[in-house]
Each structure stands twice: as C-alpha cells, then as structure tokens.
Structure 1
Amino acid sequence: MSSPLPPAPVRAAHVRASGVHLSFGGRPVLAGVDLAAAAGDRVAVVGENGRGKTTLLRVLAGHLPVDRGEVRRAGSVGVADQQLLLGAGDTVGALVDLELTAVRGALARLAEAADALADGAPGADDAYAAALAEAEALDAWDADRRVEVSLAALNAVDDRARPLGTLSVGQRHRVRLACLLGAGHPVLLLDEPTNHLDAAGLDHLTERLRAHPGVVVLVSHDRALLTDVATSVVDLDPSSDGRPRYCGGGYPAYVEARRAERARWEALHAEQVAERQRLADDLAAARNRLRDNWRPAKGHGRHTRATRAPGLVRAVHRRQEELTAHVVAVPPPPSRFAMPELPGPGGATLLRAAGVGVAGRLARPVDLALDAGDRLVVTGPNGAGKSTLLTVLAGDLAPDAGTVTRGRSVRVGRLAQESDSPGRRTAVELYEERLARSGVPGPGLGELGLLDGYDGRRPVAELSVGARRRLDLALVLAVRPHVLLLDEPTNHLSAALVDELTDALGSTPAAVVIATHDRQLSRDTGSWPRLAL
C-alpha cells in the first residue's frame, strides 16, 4: 500500500530508526533496533521467523507506533507486504490505481497548479514549482509505462478489468509488485517480494532494485537476491548480548560474520555450562564426603571425629558459594532444525507416474518413477504446472490423463506453496493430532527446532506467515513420509533455516521432489536430476 507522505527528491530519501522498542501483549518483538539508510542504500532485514521483520517494515512505513525510540523518513513510501487490502470483487485496474495513488495525486496537483498559474492566482509560481518538483521526484508521467513493463517482465496479468478474485495469490502479488516497481517511490519497503516469481521475474526484480536511486529496505528469504542486491544487513535474530546486529559489508560478509559469531557463542556457552557442571559435581562430592566419608575407622575416638567434621562442612559451604556465584552469562544459542529420521525402504519403486496430465494446468504428459533416496527438481515458468504435478503425485488431485501408483504402505508428504486458512487451534494441538492420525511414532514438535514453545502454544491464526510456514513443514514431517514433495519450500523461511533444511534434504533416505524458483536452492541442488515442464 502506498503511503500518503508527500514525495521528496530521490537524493533526499532516507529512513532512520533509532533505539526502536515494540511489544505485543507484553512480549518484546523489537528491542533496540537501529537502522539508517540514505539514497542508494539497500538494507536487508534478516532473522528467524517471528523475530519482527515484517513488524519493522510496518514501523518504518509509519503503520505501527513504537513503544520507545524514533523513526524518521523522507520521500513517499511504497510498501509491498504479505497482505493485499483489496477484495476479490476489485479489479486489476483498481489495484494499479491504489498503488499509483501518489503518482495520480502528484499529476492532479500539477494540473491544478498549472491552471492557477495561468489564471495569475497569488502565489501560483511557488505552488507550481512545488507541484512540478513532486511530479518529477516520482517521474510521474512515465509511471504507467513502467508498470506495464514490469507487468510483462513479471508475467503478471495486465487486463485492467480482470477481477482479482479470478487471479491466484501469486498473480495478485505480481501485479502489486509491478505497480510498486513502476510507481517511482523514493523509498521502497519490500516484504518477501520474490515469492511467486519465476526466473525471468527474479532477474527483473534484481535489476530494478539495483538500479533504484532511492532507499530499499528488503525482507527476503531469497539468498541469491540478498547477495546480488543488499549493501548492508540488519539481523534481528537473538545474539549473545540480546541486541540486533548490523553488518555493512553486504550479505556474503554478513553470512561469514554470523557463522563466526555463532561458533564463538556456542563455545562460550558450552564452556560456562561445563564449568557450572564441574562446580556442581565438586559440591556433590563434598556433600558425599560429609555424609559418608568423614567418620574415622572403628576404634578412633570422639576427638578425631570432632576435628574432621568442621573442615568438611566448610568445604561444602565453600563449594556451594562457588556454584551460587557462577552465572552462565551467555544465553543458550538458538536451536537448529533437526530433520526426523525418514524411512527409505529399498528394493521397490515408491511412486510412479505414467502419462500424467491435467487439462488446462499440466498439458504435457509426465512420466517419472521414484525410489528411496531419489532426488528430483521440477523446473519451469509460472503456470507450467509444477504445483499441479506435486498435487497429483500426492494423491490430492486426480489426473485427467495417465495414472499414479504408489507402493503398499508408502507415505507421501506434500508441502503446499501456501498455508491452509489459520484457525484457533494451537500449533501443538494440530501437530499432535497429525502425529496420532499417522499411526507412526515421531518426534515432538519442540524436537524439530522449528517453533519455540511460545509459538507452539498460540492459536495458528496469531502466528506470523513465516511461523505458519514452519508449522506446515512440521506437519508434513510428522507422518515421516517415504516421499517428500516440497512446493517452493524456501518461501517465508529464514535464510539460516533454509541452509539447514537444504543440508537435511541432501542426506535423508526418503525420496525428495522439489519445485522451486529459488536461485540459491537451485544452485545448492545442482547435482540433482531435473524435470523441466
């Protein structure tokens, strides 16, 4: 949604947040965040799901007040968040007009100022100069053409009369992103803009962001985009001292710095925990000596017992004081993703598709066979039928042509591209129900390292988009599938989790099929066979 703030020259665009604190329901979401960006800066905001990345963008846009701290910005702001305000009955044209509100307003004010100047109205010269500067800052005359270029490059619907309700979620988001790229806002705040883009769309987005003369603040799981675009990184993940981290060397430098800091953090925490355990063991040993070993051998007198006891008591007190004084000052590092052990029975084909097709959605017949340990990446532009194929393989959609056969007792797990509608049940309740229904033993939700205890106990409707995506992954893994079908698995997941998930997928004995446009994931799975649709 476009901000009503008046435009400013691109060279004057800036965004600054100082000491920002924000809590929801008494739970801190942002704590001491500092961010500064001027024209030409492209700041990546990263962190695990639920750490406040989307919240920070809303704060920078002026949509959320802060509890403490200060936020300043100059220049009109274009915001691409993960929600669309318009309804199914609105049209593509209405969405374009909404996102070009600042452009339409600037041209209207320029026309009014020109009329006033022609009429010789007092102060008309200054008003016209201000209106002209506003329109020039947005390059307002060329905005519609830029939108059309981006609509074509992003493979987005350009029929202005088309109702939004007839478009997929991905199509609606591509239309809105094209509008923002064409609107000329000096400040762009983008939340997961690569979702629903194919290779051509990703290339266009990268080119436009690199060429943007103003400010870009970007939240994205797309590691390739962050590498190609970001000039600096703000990391909202918990750190050893509890404060967000800033890295000014671009994304590759940030990744290296994060890896080194994580290693130091883990080593210091382990060292302090080990020292505490040593002190606890010393105290236990001293207590045992006081209880059992201070008594002299039979036949020794009362005097010997009396002189030995005080020394042992003092030793116990001293060790107790040492243990009490020892504080584990370094908090435990965040948990890592732990892939459950998936089955990989050999000797028989797990799943086979023969001549599979779906009218209007998967036109080209597909043949494939999956054995335990097989890997496959499904590629193709938007609309080629990648999601449809995975839905058919999972048994959730009957093909119009061809057949799909599965081995006896073969379990298939499919991660859909979008989450189901959230409800009021908690993540733990849904996971445990799925586990019980599967009839196979599996790890508890907390053991996967995907959701912390707080999110696990909250109603799913209250979770962030990223946290719901983590829950979706957990629900798929709960059945311990023999075949794992993953549709855009990196969507809404943090870069760190994606790295951990990628490593786990490479080593699991289950068969794995991935449909993705994620360029870094495609590179990381470069040795896997490809199926191009």
Structure 2
Amino acid sequence: MDVATSIRDSLPQTDEIIVQYLDGLYADADEEYDSIMSTTRGMLESFATSDEKAAFQDLMKSLGDYLSEQLDSKRASQPGSDGLAKLDRVMEMSKTMSTTRAVMEGVDLSSVNKGKETRVDLKKLEKQEAKLKAKIDKRAKRVGGELYEGSKLIEATKRQEPYEELFMKVNPLDARSSSKGKSKDIHLVNIDVNFGSHRILSNANLTLAYGRRYGLIGRNGVGKSTLLRHIALRELAVPSHITILFVEQEIVGDDTTAIESVLKADVWRDKLMTEEKELNAQLSVLETEGDGSKMSEESKEIASARLVEVHQKLTEIDAETGPARAAALLAGLGFNEEDQHRPTRTFSGGWRMRLALARALFVKPDLLMLDEPSNHIDLNALAWLEDYLQTWPGTILVVSHDRAFLDAVATDIVLQRAERLEYFKGNFSQFYATKTERDKNARKEYETQKTYREHLQAFIDRWRYNANRAAQAQMKIKILEKLPDLEEPEAEDTERFKFPETEKISPPLLQLNEVQFGYTPEKIILDKVDIDVGLDSRIAVIGPNGAGKSTLIKLLTGELKPMAGHLTRNGRLRIGYFAQHHVDTLDPTLSPVKYLQSKFPGKTDLEYRSHLGAFGITGLTGMQIIGTLSGGQKSRVSFAALSLLGPHVLLLDEPTNHLDIEGLDALMHALQVWNGGVILISHDERFITTVSNELWICNDGKVQKYYGDVTSYKQLIVSNLKSKP
C-alpha cells in the first residue's frame, strides 16, 4: 500500500508536509499500533470536510489493516520471535493506556492516578521515552516540524516522594553543622543534563558563588526547570554540606494551618521539637515514677544526654525564633493574622503557591531555587519579595521572565541556550547591554573570519594546479587547515504578535457609573466605581490580591451584574477577555487548528494555521494536541483565538504568566501598535509601564486613579510594611 497516495486520493486538501510525515511514520513503523493510529487520526481528521467523513473512515480502516500487517511482519522476522509481541507493563492504571498514546492525546499522566499509588519502572520508561522521541524528532526534522515533547510521567515519578522524606534525604541534618568553615560555592565542570534522549546541557559549567543571586533565563522549552530539578534532587554533584530547596509546586491542602505548614517546612526543626517534647515527657515520668533502680537511673542519663544534644541542635538551627519568623514571612506575602490560622485546604492554588514560597524562605537553605515566583503573587507581595531577597544571605537561582524583578533581585544573569550556560555580571538591564555588545562583536568577528577564509579558498581554487603558484597555494591550504572551526553566532530570536485593526465606533464604549458589587449585601467588594473605557484607553489596574481587580474586569465584560449603579455598553462593542486561568479552559483533546475551527468556523485550515503563525504557533505545533503544549504555547493559542473576535477592547487578567521574555516582548509590541482599548491586570512592572499610560489602584472597595508610577507604588508598599510593628 502506498500510504502517501492513499491519503492524497482520500483527503486531497491534506497539507503535503503531513502526508510526508505520515508516510515516513508508516514506512519504518515499529511503535505500538494504538500510538501510530492515534497520531494519524489526530493529524488527518481536521483535513476531512463534511462530505469526506466516509472517505476518512475508509482511509483509517485501510491504514489500520496495512499497519497491522507491517507490525506482524516485523515481529515475525525478528530472530527467535514467535510472532507475538511482549509489552513491558510499566505502570498500573484503572484503564490500560500506553505512554505514547497518552502524550499524543494530551492526557496529563501526572494526574491520571491522582490519589492512587503509582509504581513505575523509571529506567524502562526513560528508555521508552528516549526511543520514541528520537524517532519523532528525526521525522520532524525531515519535514520541518516541531520536536517531540515528552510525557510528564517521568518527572512526576521523580517528584512522588513525600516532601519530608525527600527533604531529609537531600538535606541531612549533619550537613548544617558540618558546613562550618567549608566553602558553599558551587563549581561543576563538564556537566551533562538530559531528559530522556533530549540533551539539556552538554559539557557545560555550573558556577554559583555563595551569596550571589542568579537570574536564569532562556527560551521556553530550553530546559531551565529541568536543570533546577536535577540540582534539587542532587543528580548533579552539588557538595553534600550545601543545603538546597526548590520551590516548584503548590502545597497540598489539609487541616494544617498556614503558620503550622510553614513551621513544618523545616523538617529537622519539626522532628527535633517533637523529640524534645517526648524526651521531656519521658524524663517527667522517670522522675515521678522511677524506682531508683540502676536501670531507671541509666534510662534517665540516656534521655538527659539526648535532650542536651537536641537542645544544642535546636540552638544551631535557630528554632526558638521560628514562630516569629514564620508569621513575618506570611505577613509579607499577604497573609493577615486570621489567614495565618486558616487550614491550608481553604486556600486557592495561587495562595498555596505563596505558602510554598513562605516555607522555602523559612527554611533558609544555602541554595534557594525559585521557578517563576512572580506568577502567583500580586504587585504588593512582589514588592515585598524583591526587597526581602535583596538581603538573602545565601545563594539564589531564580527562573523568571519578569525583567523588573530580575533588575531588582539579580546580581548575575545566567543565559541557557544551545546546551550551555553563559554568565553575565549585573542585573537584567546590564546583561542586555552586555549581551547586545557581545553578540555584535561575535557577529563582526565571524564575518571577518568568513571573509578571510573565502579569500584563502579563492586563491587556492585559482592557483593550486598552476605550476608557478602551486607552492603558494599549498601554503594557503596549510593556513586554512590550522584555522579554528568557524561557528556562526546564533541569530537573535524574535517574535511578533499581531492583533487586527479594529473599526471605530462612537463613544461611550464601556462605562461604569457609581457601580456597587458584592456577592452578598453584607460583604461589598467594590463600591461607587466610576470608569470610562475608550479605544484610546491604556489602563493598568493594580492592588493586592482579593481586593476586587478580577471582579472589576468581570463587571466590564458583563459576566457579573452590578448591585447598584449603571453599566453602559455600546451595542456594537466586541470585548476580548483573557482570564487569569484562560489557558486551563482550552480543550486539551483538540489541536490549535481544530480549536480555532470549533470556535470560529468558516475558514480553511491553511488560514487557521497562518493566523496561529502570527502568534508564534508554527509548523506541526498547530496540529499537535493542546494538552501536550507548554504554558507559553497555550497562551499564544488563547491570544490567537482572542484576535479572531476582532475586538474593540481587550481586558487582560495576568496575561504574562506563561510567556517567556521573547513572547512578552512580542505581546507588548502588539498592544503598543494596536488601535483598540486595553485594560490590564498585571504584576509585571515593565509590562505595565510599556503598555499602559494610566494606573488605577483597587483597594478597600475603591478603584481610584494613581498619579505616580509603578516604582513609586512599590516603594510605598515596602515602606508601609516596614513601618508596621
């Protein structure tokens, strides 16, 4: 069977790149049947018109029969094969599902067995992932597509270990006392970091000087979080006396109060405090009930000696100040006194992330690693965090796309690209200036060397067979051979987003007049709000979490109705709304092309793919299942969908959370040149400053214009926090 011809005949509108990809997939098929058929269906279904559904089903049946024959033939031809395939059972699930199929269908394997015990043969799984990725990457490169993204199962398995057990294993108690007098600098040379068969770093050097604060930056998908996990699990040879903590996931909610959760984060403190109570109770019993026997006196001596050791260790780790330190950390991150005594299960995901951050700060590890810490906190908490980290005594390694945060916190920048780490002194602004100059010089040197090589080669080509000039030509050949390998500098990564120009409509477009809102009459969230939005509006709404910023946006969209006052809205007005968790509402079982088709029917697949390309979703990514896309890619799909509305006004609630620096630059530029109105909620100082020309503060039930800039607002927040007793 000729797979390519069959596809072209049955579905003539199929892109040739897809035809070639599938033809190669079937040509050397040695993966599981379900995996290949799932991939085929996902890619071809969007090309079948309503009149071609029957042809599509017939084609799938033919391909299925052909694939079965191919796989049976290959198995039978293997030495010692009895024609039967034996599949290793790598995990137990309520429904049998291969890792490959789960990846292609967008299933989040880390949550399939939530609440159940998952037993995974990690080595077998990594080998299986590596084999699959190598094949798909090879084919993708052949047809110019996107590379394979591995399942989350391997990472989830490595993170399954309970926090307490992992903490004690990674940070043994003796490490704290044994670190005295030892250097806490980290210098690892020629390290390799892999995820499956995907090389993250190759012969790279990791250098972290104690007391410095490093900002780790790089494109989405380059492996920054993977590097942090390898360090956190000591899969890299970090000296054992250096304590490590990585803040990555929100804590699991239970009946533990917020302040107790922070105190329990220092596992050794918690265990020593518990042991102290048990020893005191034991000694009390021996004092009152002891019979004076030799055994009783020996038991008292042993317990007393151990109690002395415990007290010494508690003193070393500054255990006594724990409750005060925990309360101060929680207060800085926005938890009032009442919140600090609420069970952790009552907090939302964003607040649990804050708790995870407070727990890490409380432990005070020698190396603190943070992954996008600004994503889940408001501007008030961010201002406090920036100020707090500036006096952090240990080493910090933080992944962030927030340039203002990196300017405030970082003393050094580490750029991860091309399987290596490049180091720059200074904050992000200084890095950008240095990198620009460095790249400019590298490009100039490359062009100079290239010209010199071409000059030598031209002389050689012209005179090497001329008797009179042969000696000179040989000399030039030797010079050329001794020149170092010429490596072209990487081209600067650039992205562009584009929102379609909107037609003008007469004002008023969108107004709130004396609006009051509360979910109950007893608890008013917003009171007497007046705001006027036009096509030239560029408004940023700032303020603490829970003050009503998102509620204001929902009132403007009409999702919520005022209890009092008036909402005026032009009948022709179209609003594009990007919610804080918008990426989570995308259908994970559809491809970006199919998703746009379901929301905005009537265009060809080529038009959808072209539109997605304007937001950075290119190649086969447009045909990939949304569930397998990164957070940044999902954000790009959301913005592509918003733009198809042809909005007059964009309401953006934390739109920057999942975008890398290049994606953020693209979004800012698109909003700057767009001719519609923008209201945004964001914690990103640079984004606010670049896009908006008005600041409005939402706090204490009021929404009022602020006549300073973001920097002055953050300074005000920090000074107010410091002035509190």
Q: What TM-score does the superposition give when structure 2 sets the normalisation length?
A: 0.56
Q: Following superposition of structure 1 onto structure 2, how do residues 422-461 of structure 1 map, counting pairs within 5 Å?
A: 424-429=588-593, 431-433=595-597, 436-437=600-601, 444=610, 446-451=612-617, 453=619, 456-461=622-627
Q: Which segment drifts farther, 386-395 or 500-509?
A: 500-509
Segments of 5+ residues of structure 1 without an aligned counterpart are: 274-326
SS of equivalent to 1:235: strand
CA separation of 1:328/1:21 partners in 2, compared to 1, >3 Å: closer, same or farther?
Answer: closer
Specify the code of the residue in structure 2 equivalent to 1:152.
A
| Aligned residue number for residue 176 of structure 2 | 8
Q: Please report how far the alpha carbon of residue 215 of structure 1 lies from its aligned counterpart in structure 2 after TM superposition.
A: 1.6
Check if 1:245 corresponds to 2:386.
Answer: no
Q: 1:340 aligns with which of 490, 493, 499?
A: 499
| Aligned residue number for residue 169 of structure 1 | 349
CA separation of 1:140/1:221 partners in 2, compared to 1, >3 Å: closer, same or farther?
Answer: farther
| Aligned residue number for residue 397 of structure 1 | 560
Q: Please report how far the alpha carbon of residue 390 of structure 1 lies from its aligned counterpart in structure 2 after TM superposition.
A: 1.1
Q: Which segment drifts farther, 260-269 or 200-209?
A: 260-269
Check if 1:36 corresponds to 2:199.
Answer: no
Segments of 5+ residues of structure 2 without an aligned counterpart are: 1-162, 284-297, 451-485, 704-725
Alpha-carbon contact 1:187-1:216 (below 8 Å) kept:
yes
Number of aligned pairs?
Answer: 471
| Aligned residue number for residue 257 of structure 1 | 434
| Aligned residue number for residue 520 of structure 1 | 686
Q: How many Å separate the matches in 2 of 1:447 and 1:388?
A: 33
Q: How many Å separate the matches in 1 of 2:261 and 2:624?
A: 33
CA separation of 1:329/1:457 partners in 2, compared to 1, >3 Å: closer, same or farther?
Answer: farther
Q: How many Å separate the matches in 2 of 1:267 and 1:396?
A: 56
Q: 1:149 aligns with which of 324, 328, 339?
A: 328
Q: How many Å separate the matches in 1 of 2:314 and 2:624?
A: 47
CA separation of 1:448/1:245 partners in 2, compared to 1, >3 Å: closer, same or farther?
Answer: farther
Alpha-carbon contact 2:190-2:204 (below 8 Å) kept:
yes
SS of equivalent to 2:228: helix
Specify the code of the residue in structure 1 equivalent to 2:435.
R
| Aligned residue number for residue 57 of structure 1 | 228
Alpha-carbon contact 2:574-2:645 (below 8 Å) kept:
yes
CA separation of 1:138/1:393 partners in 2, compared to 1, >3 Å: closer, same or farther?
Answer: farther
Q: 1:498 aligns with which of 657, 660, 664?
A: 664
Specify the code of the residue in structure 2 equivalent to 1:341.
P
SS of equivalent to 1:444: helix
Alpha-carbon contact 2:367-2:394 (below 8 Å) kept:
yes
Q: How many Å separate the matches in 2 of 1:102 and 1:438?
A: 62
Alpha-carbon contact 2:542-2:682 (below 8 Å) kept:
yes
Q: Please report how far the alpha carbon of residue 513 of structure 1 lies from its aligned counterpart in structure 2 after TM superposition.
A: 0.7
1:425-465 CA deviation, whole Å, 9 max, x = no partner?
25524652366259898773552343454654443333344
Specify the code of the residue in structure 1 equivalent to 2:542.
T
SS of equivalent to 1:357: strand
Q: How many Å separate the matches in 1 of 2:441 and 2:571?
A: 48
Q: Following superposition of structure 1 onto structure 2, how do residues 52-451 of structure 1 map, counting pairs within 5 Å?
A: 52-62=223-233, 65=235, 70-72=237-239, 74-81=241-248, 83-87=249-253, 91-92=257-258, 95-108=261-274, 119-121=300-302, 135-136=314-315, 138-156=317-335, 158=337, 159=339, 162-238=342-418, 243-260=420-437, 329=488, 332-359=491-518, 360=523, 362-418=525-581, 419-420=583-584, 424-429=588-593, 431-433=595-597, 436-437=600-601, 444=610, 446-451=612-617
Q: Please report how far the alpha carbon of residue 28 of structure 1 lies from its aligned counterpart in structure 2 after TM superposition.
A: 3.7
1:95-133 CA deviation, whole Å, 9 max, x = no partner?
3354232331344567789999995559969x966x667
Alpha-carbon contact 2:615-2:636 (below 8 Å) kept:
no
How much is the aligned-residue C-alpha RMSD, in angstroms?
A: 4.0
Q: Please report how far the alpha carbon of residue 23 of structure 1 lies from its aligned counterpart in structure 2 after TM superposition.
A: 4.0
Alpha-carbon contact 2:593-2:609 (below 8 Å) kept:
no
CA separation of 1:458/1:436 partners in 2, compared to 1, >3 Å: closer, same or farther?
Answer: same
| Aligned residue number for residue 85 of structure 2 | none
1:302-330 CA deviation, whole Å, 9 max, x = no partner?
xxxxxxxxxxxxxxxxxxxxxxxxx9955
CA separation of 1:103/1:23 partners in 2, compared to 1, >3 Å: closer, same or farther?
Answer: same
| Aligned residue number for residue 312 of structure 1 | none
Q: How many Å separate the matches in 2 of 1:500 and 1:399?
A: 35
Q: Please report how far the alpha carbon of residue 256 of structure 1 lies from its aligned counterpart in structure 2 after TM superposition.
A: 1.4
1:399-438 CA deviation, whole Å, 9 max, x = no partner?
3334434333432111212232565325524652366259
Q: How many Å separate the matches in 2 of 1:169 and 1:361?
A: 24
SS of equivalent to 1:150: helix
SS of equivalent to 1:341: coil
Q: How many Å separate the matches in 2 of 1:168 and 1:470?
A: 25
CA separation of 1:425/1:266 partners in 2, compared to 1, >3 Å: closer, same or farther?
Answer: farther
Q: Please report how far the alpha carbon of residue 485 of structure 1 lies from its aligned counterpart in structure 2 after TM superposition.
A: 1.0
Alpha-carbon contact 2:596-2:608 (below 8 Å) kept:
no
Q: Please report how far the alpha carbon of residue 230 of structure 1 lies from its aligned counterpart in structure 2 after TM superposition.
A: 0.9
Specify the code of the residue in structure 1 equivalent to 2:323.
D
Specify the code of the residue in structure 1 equivalent to 2:430.
A
Q: Which segment drifts farther, 340-349 or 509-518?
A: 340-349
Q: Please report how far the alpha carbon of residue 486 of structure 1 lies from its aligned counterpart in structure 2 after TM superposition.
A: 1.2
Q: How many Å separate the matches in 2 of 1:23 and 1:88?
A: 35
Q: Please report how far the alpha carbon of residue 478 of structure 1 lies from its aligned counterpart in structure 2 after TM superposition.
A: 3.7
Q: How many Å separate the matches in 2 of 1:133 and 1:92?
A: 28
Q: How many Å separate the matches in 2 of 1:268 and 1:352?
A: 58
Larger RCO (alpha carbons 8 Å, 6+ apart): 1
CA separation of 1:520/1:157 partners in 2, compared to 1, >3 Å: closer, same or farther?
Answer: same
Q: How many Å separate the matches in 2 of 1:139 and 1:445?
A: 58
Specify the code of the residue in structure 2 equivalent to 1:490.
T
Specify the code of the residue in structure 2 equivalent to 1:196.
H
Q: 2:219 aligns with which of 29, 48, 53?
A: 48
Q: What TM-score does the superposition give when structure 1 sets the normalisation length?
A: 0.75
SS of equivalent to 1:95: helix
Q: How many Å separate the matches in 2 of 1:252 and 1:229?
A: 12
Specify the code of the residue in structure 1 equivalent to 2:243.
S
CA separation of 1:465/1:442 partners in 2, compared to 1, >3 Å: closer, same or farther?
Answer: closer
Alpha-carbon contact 1:272-1:328 (below 8 Å) kept:
no
1:325-357 CA deviation, whole Å, 9 max, x = no partner?
xx9955554341322333151533332233333
CA separation of 1:167/1:447 partners in 2, compared to 1, >3 Å: closer, same or farther?
Answer: same
1:18-62 CA deviation, whole Å, 9 max, x = no partner?
444444454444455532224312111112222222222211110
CA separation of 1:211/1:480 partners in 2, compared to 1, >3 Å: closer, same or farther?
Answer: same
Specify the code of the residue in structure 2 equivalent to 1:78.
L
Alpha-carbon contact 1:19-1:70 (below 8 Å) kept:
no
Higher normalized helix content (fraction of residues): 2
Q: Please report how far the alpha carbon of residue 220 of structure 1 lies from its aligned counterpart in structure 2 after TM superposition.
A: 1.9
